[in-house]
């Protein structure tokens, strides 16, 4: 659960870092708030000659939405030696739908024809080449077990600069299944999955030459 809550905090304050000053007054004050939902999952599927790692991270907030999909296939010979592989990666902020049912009960994600990049690697992990492609994603989550809650408040001050950060998040383990890049992903192949919410904000005050 700590991993999931830490991930929520990172996502929240990545957005907070993008906020600009609210005014150009002598004492510049910035207020920024974000509230949203998140989900993630990782599966490992194996065959006699390959292993595929598929991860999905999705978030939806008052500011924006984002989806990261990463699918890596390692090929190996009969002795288990790596012989090369491929990676398909997508980062998009639109073109998909994500909905989470409270209280962290379930969630669904779908997107088709999402822009992505596929790179091929040789046995020494050198990149052979990359090309543009698309990927389809369909995942459902079902919450399992108790809901964990976490929060923190931080205050930093240096000269005329002061910043107050606060974060509150919830997280719950989940089971997840779906189809990513044409590969069917089952519960038996699932390594982890989480559902979560976050509420975070920051206030910065800058006076004089510190601005």
Minimal CA–CA distance to 64: which of 116, 16, 112? 16
pLDDT of residue 201: 87
Minimal CA–CA distance to 81: which of 112, 116, 122? 122
As to burial, measured by CB atoms within 10 angstroms (0-12 exposed, 13-18 middle, 19+ buried), residue 40 is buried
pLDDT, block means (10 residues), the chain with 211 residues: 47 40 60 89 96 97 92 95 97 97 97 98 96 98 96 87 91 98 98 95 80 63
pLDDT of residue 62: 81
Minimal CA–CA distance to 172: which of 143, 130, 199? 143
pLDDT of residue 19: 37
pLDDT of residue 20: 41
pLDDT of residue 209: 64
**H/E element, 10:** helix 2-16
Domain span holding position 143: 2-210
Task: Please give the Cα distance from 127 to 120 (Å, whole number).
Answer: 6
Q: How many Cα atoms sit within 13 Å of 7 on the Cβ side?
A: 20
What domain count does the chain have? 1
Task: Please give the Cα distance from 194 to 104 (Å, whole number).
Answer: 9
Task: Please give the Cα distance from 176 to 193 (Å, whole number).
Answer: 6
pLDDT of residue 27: 74
């Amino acid at each position: 659960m700590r991993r999931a809550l830490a991930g929520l905090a990172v996502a929240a304050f990545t957005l907070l870092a993008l906020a600009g000053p609210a005014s150009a007054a002598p004492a510049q004050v910035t207020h920024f708030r974000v509230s949203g939902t998140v989900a993630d999952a990782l599966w490992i599927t194996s065959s006699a000659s390959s292993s595929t790692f598929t991860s999905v991270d999705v978030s939806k907030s008052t500011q924006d939405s984002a989806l990261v999909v990463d699918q890596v296939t390692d090929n190996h010979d009969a002795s288990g030696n790596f012989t090369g592989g491929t990676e398909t990666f997508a980062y998009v902020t639109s073109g998909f739908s994500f909905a989470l049912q409270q209280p962290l009960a379930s969630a669904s994600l779908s997107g088709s024809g999402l822009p992505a990049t596929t790179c091929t690697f040789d046995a020494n992990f050198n990149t052979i080449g990359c090309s543009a492609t698309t990927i389809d994603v369909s995942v459902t989550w079902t919450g399992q077990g108790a809901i964990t809650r976490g929060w923190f408040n931080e205050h930093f001050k240096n000269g005329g600069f002061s910043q107050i950060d606060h974060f509150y998040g919830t997280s719950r383990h989940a089971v997840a299944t779906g189809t990513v890049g044409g590969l069917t992903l089952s519960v038996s192949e699932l390594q982890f999955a989480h559902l979560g919410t976050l509420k975070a904000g920051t206030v910065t005050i800058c006076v004089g030459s510190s601005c």
